Chains A and B, each alone.
Chain A
């Protein structure tokens, strides 16, 4: 599973996050140790409020950790403070985020939403749109290229968001409930695509999910409870059995 790469893509050491102080302090995540390797697709499970989104946001450098160490692709990015000044560049190049609420830009049409991240990474306009259309076609939303996000169904918006997250061929792909709005067949297509990306780009894919349909498709599953990784199972069979 580790392939030829000797290092994990994501290394969390004692990673913790709390919001507020004193009376109002909420420990969203307590001392998480986690290594994620290139080529693997892992699932993150747990009840609501257990810290799944928080963990994704920490790995994606969207939220600043409170303690511990975070290393991405061998580079220490947080240890007491941010060690990289350009977190957005890091996100643009290394991290593909599939947000729970899609977060498409309402003033751009579907293909522009996808092409924008390529454009920002320095791609030529025609190349950016060609890649965007290719991804959208693959995800079966190519026919909605010119539509504004407000006119998309939940499932269509989700697939556009996935296309955007994959556009720059990131090595770390973080997905918050990516198949919640999709039917079983489409959820399967998305999981196939994520698997393909993990293998072809030797990327790591982390998926937060409640979706029973797809539990069998993960290499490893992590259970979160009260901000801690509770148990670890290499196969969902171990988990349920």
Chain B
């Protein structure tokens, strides 16, 4: 005869209300983890889009995401000539603010040469860039639709295609445009002193031929490290593998957020533990007389401990299910991407079970100390 279940049924409304409340709390914990996973996925999305194996940037920098990097436009040709390199692409990265339908819009602009590495990984609607100038492919999160026109840095661009889920590490949607367009945009939008300085160098058609990075792919048999080493030997160049680039990005861009969210998650879990412990303690307090009666009629401690621990577990598991289904159904309504990994949910489930066991300790201690004679009064 399961006492825990019968006691829950006896106070079903109150129990479910408590479980739902706990579920909301656990939902917040899950969404925290999901937001962090989303942050990492977003941040890496931009780095992974070109599907490169080698990144070549300005020497002494860890660009182009963690630090600024400016290299001459002809760097790509030098890299393309290295042994083992099969494909290359020049790329620019800049974020800017545009006005679209009277609304401020923050964009991550990526410049690349159509036909070379660096373009959007998949087109959701419309087509990729074809003409060399004044076309863009925009992520749907910008709110732009195919055929729409938008002014950027003095020129008017036409949206020819859209992508889905392409954002910068800051959460801004990505817009792809031809390299030359992006260079003009970079030149026009850069601060005046920088523009004057740049103008003193070799100037072609107003904007300098400067890029932020060269990405490269390597032949199947060739060594990526060898290409990286060879690229480093070029004057004023730094090079790294795709893995290095991802590590730098997660370290520099996501690490702070990870610590922040990790800390917050820890605080929330601690709060949840305390709350679960208090709920179970209160549930036990409410049952003091019944527990004393159980002792009077000869119930062994195991039976009484089982009653409390099983109720704690039921509370935790129902709460967890409520929280998980809540976040699973609400995750697409968050302003930034929320990624729910099954393994994250599973580990939180495990943590909840442990927390319930620890939290019921307080209630169990109380129950075991109850004097059976307590039940004898009126």
Contact = CB atoms under 8 A, between A and B. Distances in A.
A115 B295 CA distance: 16
A105 B293 contact: yes
A117 B290 contact: no
Contact of A92 (B7, B297, B372): B297
Nearest to B301: A88
B35 to A, nearest CB: 41
B300 A164 contact: no
Query: What is the interface of chain B mostly: helix, strand, loop, or mixed?
Result: helix
A116 B1 contact: yes
Q: How big is the A interface, by class?
A: 20 to 34
A101 B376 contact: yes
Nearest to A63: B373
B373 A120 contact: no
A209 interface: no
A100 B376 contact: yes
Interface in B361-378: 372-373, 375-378
Interface residues of B, number: 23
Contacts of B296: 62, 91, 97, 99, 103
Contacts of B299: 88, 92, 120
A89 interface: yes
A116 B298 CA distance: 10
A122 to B, nearest CB: 11
Contact of A89 (B3, B294, B298): B298
Interface stretch (A72-80, A106-114, A178-186): A106-114
Interface string B1-21: 101001101110000000000
A117 B376 contact: no
Interface in A66-105: 88-93, 95, 97, 99-101, 103-105
A107 B376 contact: no
Contacts of A99: 296, 375-376
B196 interface: no
A120 B376 contact: no
A202 interface: no
Interface in A124-169: 125, 128, 148, 164
A107 B299 CA distance: 16
A137 to B, nearest CB: 20
Interface in B275-299: 290, 293-299
A226 interface: no
B300 A101 contact: no
Nearest to A116: B1
A101 B289 CA distance: 12
B188 interface: no
Contacts of A106: 10, 290
Given A101-B376, A107-B290, A164 B297 contact: yes
A128 B1 CA distance: 10
A53 interface: yes
Nearest to B298: A92
B373 A105 contact: no
Contacts of B1: 108, 112, 115-116, 119, 125, 128
A108 B2 CA distance: 10
A205 B71 CA distance: 102
Nearest to B6: A107
Given A63-B373, A92-B297, A164-B297, A120 B9 contact: no
Contacts of B375: 99, 103
Contact of B297 (A90, A97, A101, A148): A97
Contacts of B378: 100-101
Contacts of A53: 376
A31 interface: no
Nearest to B377: A101
A4 B156 CA distance: 114
Contacts of B293: 103-105
Nearest to B9: A107
Interface in B341-378: 372-373, 375-378
A180 to B, nearest CB: 13
B10 A117 contact: no
Nearest to A105: B290
B376 to A, nearest CB: 7
A91 B6 contact: no
B303 interface: yes
A105 B287 CA distance: 10
Contacts of B376: 53, 57, 62, 99-101, 103
Contacts of A91: 296-298
B6 A89 contact: no
A93 B298 CA distance: 8
A16 to B, nearest CB: 17
Interface string B294-313: 11111110010000000000
Interface of B: 1, 3, 6-7, 9-11, 290, 293-300, 303, 372-373, 375-378
10 contacts: A62-B372, A88-B299, A91-B296, A92-B298, A93-B298, A100-B376, A101-B378, A107-B7, A107-B10, A115-B1
Given A62-B373, A99-B375, 9 more contacts: A99-B296, A101-B377, A105-B293, A105-B294, A107-B6, A107-B7, A107-B290, A125-B1, A164-B297
Interface of A: 53, 57, 62-63, 88-93, 95, 97, 99-101, 103-108, 112, 115-117, 119-121, 125, 128, 148, 164
Closest 9 CB pairs of A and B: A92-B298, A107-B10, A107-B7, A91-B298, A103-B293, A88-B298, A119-B1, A107-B6, A101-B378
